Amino acid sequence: MSGFEDIASSRSGPIDASRQHGQLGRKPLRMIVTGRAGQVVSALVEWGRRQDLFDVVPLGRPELDLADPGSIEVAIRSCQPHIIVSAAAYTAVDSAETDEANARAVNQIAPGEIGRVASILDIPVIHLSTDYVFDGTKGSPYGETDPTNPLGVYGRSKLEGEQALAGATDNHVILRTAWVYSPFGRNFLKTMLKVAEARERLSVVDDQVGNPTSAFDIAEGVVAVAKNLLHSRASELRGTFHLAGQGAASWADFAAGIFEASHRFGGPSAQIDRISTVDYPTVAKRPANSRLDTAKLASIHGVQIPDWQSSAQQVVSRCVTHHPNPDMV
Ligand SMILES: NC(=O)c1ccc[n+]([C@@H]2O[C@H](COP(=O)([O-])OP(=O)(O)OC[C@H]3O[C@@H](n4cnc5c(N)ncnc54)[C@H](OP(=O)(O)O)[C@@H]3O)[C@@H](O)[C@H]2O)c1
């Protein structure tokens, strides 16, 4: 089944898929998203509830276990999707260093298998990847063609997953994103709010810079790319793109933005002591610079991601206003 043919066969010329599938009463296109409670899958499921163009279906354990390649084809086929969003991953960057076999199974082998199945079904795959494919030594934002050189197991397994997917199907988009936050799951923004409930000061690393990115902005970007892929077979729409919040921040800058917003909404805030990476050793090395240049995604897919401060404010507001205790989110 091909979502492209499904849409394209019914109308010639430029296609407004939302009009065709929503307002004309046609069945929505089925978008499966790997994972269950992850940040990006949760944001996409929430987005799905607000519209009727895509039927957004989370697909995770136990039906789909990415560590078990044998489960992948059966689980995907049973959903009869028009498009696959490969959002699930082994994302525990430090644990990956000592759990390499699992990280590689989920991040490297599974994307190749997803690509193989998508190729048989003749449907596109949008795969999430990471800024950690870079070593962080570049002095400016990374473009899609910059040389990769991951510093740890997580980044290496994600890079090899990109390659496995690309080797299995041309009909793919790899979206490298960074520093993801949301009201869902575990992330830096929620950790900061939680810690600030108990402490007046905290130390935050100030010499790693990146692009904080809201899972809701990723969801919007994924949907825009999905529409384009289902609309056209053009090869320029396919390949690797960077999707990240606009504007750079260190972790300390990000924390400051979170506390500023939280204070405004009546939530917890704390003083920040800006420290260096050497003062906060972690199992896995992180790139000092993982800023991503998103110009290609804007020019080819028309996706403009908002600045990280305004998106972070919305997420903070939601955490603080609707769920005073971030643990409850
Ligand atoms: N988080 C970041 O800061 C960040 C930064 C750059 C790139 N990315 C990439 O962006 C994508 C989305 O990240 P995220 O923040 O949404 O991740 P997340 O919140 O950590 O969620 C990970 C998801 O992967 C699923 N998963 C893990 N192992 C699985 C397995 N064996 N079988 C099936 N599902 C499995 C989890 O399933 P359950 O729901 O069952 O737990 C969960 O839904 C990932 O590809 C990640 O590499 C993330």
Atom of ligand 1 nearest to the CA of 176: 7
Average pLDDT in the chain: 91
Q: Is residue 259 part of a domain?
A: no
Q: Is residue 264 part of a domain?
A: no
Average pLDDT over residues 200-228: 97
- Distance, CA 88 to ligand 1 centroid (Å)? 4
Ligand 1 test: best mutation among 56, 61, 86, 91, most atoms within 8 Å of CB? 91
- For the chain, the domain total comes to 1
- At residue 19, the pLDDT reads 40
Parallel/antiparallel/unpaired status of strands 172-177 and 271-275: unpaired
Average pLDDT over residues 140-163: 98
Q: Which residues contact 33 (CB under 8 A, 6 or more apart)?
A: 40, 41, 44, 45, 56, 57, 58, 59, 84, 85, 87
pLDDT digits (tens, 9 = 90+) for 2-41: 333 333 333 223 333 444 444 445 789 999 999 999 999 9
CATH of the domain at 42: 3.40.50.720
- At residue 323, the pLDDT reads 59
Q: Is residue 238 part of a domain?
A: yes
Average pLDDT over residues 250-267: 97
Atom of ligand 1 nearest to the CA of 34: 34
DSSP string covering 276-321:
-GGGS--SS---SB--B--HHHHHHH---PPBHHHHHHHHHHIIII
Q: Is residue 267 part of a domain?
A: no
Helix, strand, or coil here: 22? helix
CA angle 244, 247, 253 (to 5 degrees): 110
Q: Whose CA is nearest to atom 19 of ligand 1?
A: 38
- Distance, CA 27 to ligand 1 centroid (Å)? 29
- Is the pLDDT at 210 greater than 80? The verdict is yes
Q: Is residue 26 part of a domain?
A: yes
Q: Whose CA is nearest to atom 18 of ligand 1?
A: 38
Q: Is residue 58 part of a domain?
A: yes
- Distance, CA 9 to ligand 1 centroid (Å)? 35
Residue 326's pLDDT band (cuts 50, 70, 90): very low
How far is the C-alpha of 237 from the C-alpha of 228, rounded, in Å? 7
- At residue 10, the pLDDT reads 31
Residue 322's pLDDT band (cuts 50, 70, 90): confident
- At residue 81, the pLDDT reads 98
- At residue 204, the pLDDT reads 97
Ligand 1 test: best mutation among 34, 39, 158, 329, most atoms within 8 Å of CB? 39
280 is catalytic: no
Average pLDDT over residues 312-329: 76
How far is the C-alpha of 182 from the C-alpha of 38, rounded, in Å? 10
Atom of ligand 1 nearest to the CA of 42: 16
Average pLDDT over residues 156-165: 98
pLDDT above 70 coverage of the chain, percent: 90
- At residue 25, the pLDDT reads 57
Q: Is residue 107 part of a domain?
A: yes
- At residue 1, the pLDDT reads 34
Pocket of ligand 1 (CB under 6 A): 34-41, 60-61, 64-67, 87-91, 106, 128, 130-131, 158, 177-180, 185
Average pLDDT over residues 195-206: 96
Query: 27 burial class (0-12, 13-18, 19+ CB within 10 angstroms)?
Result: exposed
- Distance, CA 89 to ligand 1 centroid (Å)? 4
Atom of ligand 1 nearest to the CA of 186: 19
Q: Which residues contact 168 (CB under 8 A, 6 or more apart)?
A: 112, 113, 114, 115, 116, 118, 119
- Is the pLDDT at 325 greater than 80? The verdict is no
CB 31 within 8 A of CB 54: yes
Token reading at 90: 């082994």
How far is the C-alpha of 229 from the C-alpha of 226, rounded, in Å? 5
Q: Which domain holds residue 97?
A: 17-185+213-246+291-306
Average pLDDT over residues 297-302: 98
Atom of ligand 1 nearest to the CA of 67: 31
- Distance, CA 1 to ligand 1 centroid (Å)? 27
Length of the chain (residues)? 329
What sign has the CA pseudo-torsion 208, 213, 215, 219?
A: negative
- At residue 16, the pLDDT reads 39
Query: 9 burial class (0-12, 13-18, 19+ CB within 10 angstroms)?
Result: exposed
Q: Kindly name the residue from 90, 132, 142, 154 that is annotated as catalytic.
A: 154
- Distance, CA 25 to ligand 1 centroid (Å)? 34
Q: Is residue 37 part of a domain?
A: yes
b/e burial code for range 92-110 (CB count within 10 A of at least 16 → b): ebebbbeebeebbbbbbbb
